[in-house]
Amino acid sequence: MIEILYQDDALIAVNKPAGLAVHRSKMVGNAEEFLIDRLREKLGGNVYLAHRLDRATSGVLLIARSSEMAAALGEQFMGRSVRKQYLAVVRGWPEPEEGLIDYALPGSRETGPRREASTRYQRLATIEVPIELGRYPQQRYALVQAEPLTGRFRQIRKHLAHIHHPVIGDCQHGRGDHNRLYKQYFGCHRMLLHARRLQFAHPLDGRPMVIDAALDREYSDLLARFGWSLPPLDHDFTDAAAMPPDPSTAADARAS
């Protein structure tokens, strides 16, 4: 069942479950269920994606009720006026505790041209667990809040891997040994990346919209096990509108 976070005649915001593909594409392989099909069946009509989340990522996803609304929302994503906040559990303790990752990335093809890409991050909590792995008798992990200022393909996952703090559960850019550790010791079988908040202007009247998505049971249970509590959502985390418009960023770009 898809949790609807907000709904009106112009748009719908849902809390996408981890592991559910958004739509049919070559990137999702042998997926049999798609979020967009479920919504069409539930709502009894056409719906249109305003942006994307990776199959393994959970959290806020915007759906338009018409192609015109999808285009209007897409312009906001292209203009970098949409603010996006994610939560990730990563290997290691990022230093410094707050920073900007500025590292150009290719699109869905690694051999394609690289374009500028920036992600702000903030370390929220840390833990050291007494589990031996490789050369180390203990393992360090951190809870990170990230805000992509651009919308490149798998931007957050690639940027955190670039600074040697990959997202736990990321099969493409992460560490298989740590992913297996989380399955074996913590019963965690999902990628620990969640789109926690979206801020944007309503496409009809321009009023400010803030949509938040709660963590699922598996993610929230892990945080409780580590003794981590989420801080209040910070309205001043980053001013994404300070970034200049990017004509090369399409509305279907995925920063997750």
The residue to which tokens 């069946």 are assigned: 41
Whole-Å CA distances, 222 to 134, 215, 241: 23, 11, 33
CA dist 239 and 216 (Å) reads 27
Give yes or no for a contact between 18 and 189, defined as CB atoms under 8 angstroms apart.
no
Q: What is the largest CA-CA distance in the chain?
A: 57
Q: From the candidates 8, 9, 37, 54, which is the catalytic residue? A: 54
Give yes or no for a contact between 18 and 53, defined as CB atoms under 8 angstroms apart.
no
Q: Give the pair of three-digit tokens for residue 65.
A: 């009720």
CA dist 18 and 16 (Å) reads 7
**Residue 237 forms beta bridges with which residues?**
none
φ and ψ of 90, to 5 deg: -125, 160
DSSP string, 66-87: SHHHHHHHHHHHHTT--EEEEE
CA dist 153 and 136 (Å) reads 33
CA dist 243 and 182 (Å) reads 36
Is 54 in the active site? yes
In this structure, what is the dihedral angle of CA atoms 107, 112, 115, 120, given to the nearest 10 degrees? 40
Q: Which residues are catalytic?
A: 54
